Amino acid sequence: MRGTLAGRITLVCLGVAGVAVIVAGLVGARLVRTTADNVLQSSLSAQADVVATQLDETGIGNRLGVGKVADVVRGQGISVVVRRAGGGQALGEAVAVQAAGKLGLAADHSGRVTVGGSQYLVETRVVGARGAAFALVLPARNADATQRALVRNIALALGIGLVVAALAGFVSGRLLGRPLRRAALAAGSLRAGRRDVRVPVQGPREVAEVAGSLNSLADALAVSEARQREFLLSVSHELRTPLTAVTGFAEAIADGVAAGDDAVHAGRTIQREALRLERLVTDLLELARLGADEFRLDPASVDLAALVRDCAEVWQLRCARENVRLSVSAPAAPVVVVADARRLRQVVDGLAENALRVTPAGAPMVFALSVSAAGAALSVRDGGPGLAPEDYPVAFERGVLNKRYRDRRPVGSGIGLALVHGLVTRMGGTLTAGPAPEGGAAFTIVFPLTTAVSSPP
Ligand SMILES: Nc1ncnc2c1ncn2[C@@H]1O[C@H](COP(=O)(O)OP(=O)(O)OP(=O)(O)O)[C@@H](O)[C@H]1O
Ligand SMILES: [Mg+2]
């Protein structure tokens, strides 16, 4: 069974307090007992010295004198044993005589003896030169009383120690446990899908580390989920243009609008666009498999002139349907840059989608490729309403223009320009927006040339 943190800490505190009180008690008891014994012994010894000054050889022989002394000390529980001069029996209470006998009455002694299981403190003194001696005998049971009092005090200390330890353990356990419980709650919210939960980083270092790690985890989760969402948005965005082209050309064939050579041409375009769709789906699979969250770029030499012509072929039909005149200007010679051809198609498609959406019937739309010292510039221009000067600085911020024009013009989901800008930048090019000579907006991609292979038309 798993106890609570407070419970465990309380138990540990109780254990430590118990052991501390018991050890201190045992050491204390020993100390007190020896000290008490020493005090008793030295007081007995002092009494013996006093008695020795009162009882000389004759005194010990005198029953009356000994009786007086015995009366005085009896009040303190002390028995007197005497041996008269010239040898002979030791006289006194039987137990005291035995105790004195154990220590011997031959010299001045001071000691503790055991008789019949009880302990006695004994002081012997020799009086005169003819073997007269006496002993003072005190039962050591006074020390037992001290010991009992001591045990009572230790038990009291143990009780107080345990109560204090239990309180300290409980309080510190609660204090430690609170931030941990908060972290557990936050983790629960994270699991339930909330990403805005953060735990205050406070408390002891280890607990603060837990909170910090949890916060970083929440941040990492939020970032990775946002990137995945972004990626899904971009993929679905890129799927739209080729799909529309496939549908458009297929419809043209089905309706008989494209027949003969045109139908063959339309068929080829459908095939090419279907291939692009397939590759986009492959992208999706790859990204899902590798857990990546961005399109992979395969930079290679790309002929921009051919790319513009390919784009024009696909867009021609859609423009014709909207009655928009699509014109293309590109050098006849190849214009080679290093980029990813598929992503470049996505870029032109994104820009052309925007342009066509706002270009009114009869107005022009232009794909223009030119070469200058700055590099190869590919523009998508239109004769639509264009953008206001304050739009250009924020044109590539996600959703900003979409929100601005939502009530006035047809708009899409608002991620196209940000995506296109990201792709161009990642490929090493630049994308700028400005006014077009046709009256609408012009979006221009510039890539550095790999070699000077083309000349202006
Ligand atoms: N050539 C243009 N002429 C006029 N306005 C444009 C042009 N290109 C973009 N815009 C404006 O900028 C907004 C943002 O374009 P963006 O491509 O980022 O998003 P969207 O086209 O609305 O949606 P999505 O591309 O995701 O389908 C558009 O909604 C449109 O109002
Ligand atoms: Mg768009």
Tell me the pLDDT tens digit for each residue of 234-284. 778 888 888 999 999 999 999 988 888 889 989 999 998 998 888 778 777
Please tell me whether residue 434 adopts helix, strand or coil conformation: strand
Mind listing the pLDDT tens digit for each residue in 195-248?
888 888 888 888 889 999 999 999 999 988 888 887 778 778 888 888 999 999
Is 241 among the domain residues? no
Residue 134 contacts residue 61 (beta carbons within 8 Å) = no
pLDDT at 329: 96
pLDDT mean over 381-410: 93
Burial class (CB in 10 A: 0-12, 13-18, 19+), 400: middle
Residue whose CA is closest, atom 12 of ligand 1? Answer: 401
Looking at the CA of 413, which ligand is closest?
Answer: 1
| Residue 125's CATH number | 3.30.450.20
The two beta strands, 325-329 and 364-372, are: parallel
Compute the Cα dihedral for 396, 398, 399, 400 and give only its sign: negative
Cβ of 417 less than 6 Å from ligand 1 = yes
pLDDT at 310: 93
Cβ of 203 less than 6 Å from ligand 1 = no
pLDDT at 390: 95
Ligand 2 mean position to 238 CA, how many Å?
A: 10
Residues 205 and 94 in one domain: no
Share of the chain above pLDDT 90, in %: 41
Residues 407 and 311 in one domain: yes
Six-digit token string for 211: 């909170």
Residue 134 phi, psi (nearest 5): -140, 165
Query: pLDDT class for 289, splitting at 50, 70, 90?
Result: low
pLDDT at 1: 46
Residue 263 contacts residue 269 (beta carbons within 8 Å) = no
Please tell me whether residue 456 adopts helix, strand or coil conformation: coil
Ligand 2 mean position to 105 CA, how many Å?
A: 123
What is the rounded average pLDDT for all residues in the chain? 87
Looking at the CA of 358, which ligand is closest?
Answer: 1
pLDDT mean over 137-156: 77
Cβ of 302 less than 6 Å from ligand 1 = no
Domain boundary among 116, 131, 148: 148
Residues 93 and 203 in one domain: no
What is the C-alpha to C-alpha distance for residues 411 and 6, in angstroms, rounded to an integer?
60
Is 346 among the domain residues? yes
* Single-letter residue type at 10: T
Residues 200 and 71 in one domain: no
**Least trusted range by pLDDT, from 158-172, 291-305, 434-448:** 291-305
pLDDT at 291: 62
Query: pLDDT class for 419, splitting at 50, 70, 90?
Result: confident
pLDDT at 454 over 50: no
Kindly give the number of the ligand 1 atom that is closest to the alpha carbon of 440: 3
Domains: count for the chain: 3
Cβ of 401 less than 6 Å from ligand 1 = yes
Ligand 1 mean position to 75 CA, how many Å?
A: 117
Residue 385 contacts residue 316 (beta carbons within 8 Å) = no
Mind listing the pLDDT tens digit for each residue in 36-81?
778 888 999 999 998 888 887 777 777 777 888 888 888 888 999 9
pLDDT at 453: 46
pLDDT mean over 420-427: 92
pLDDT at 177: 84
Boundaries of domain holding 427 = 297-457
Residue whose CA is closest, atom 27 of ligand 1? Answer: 412
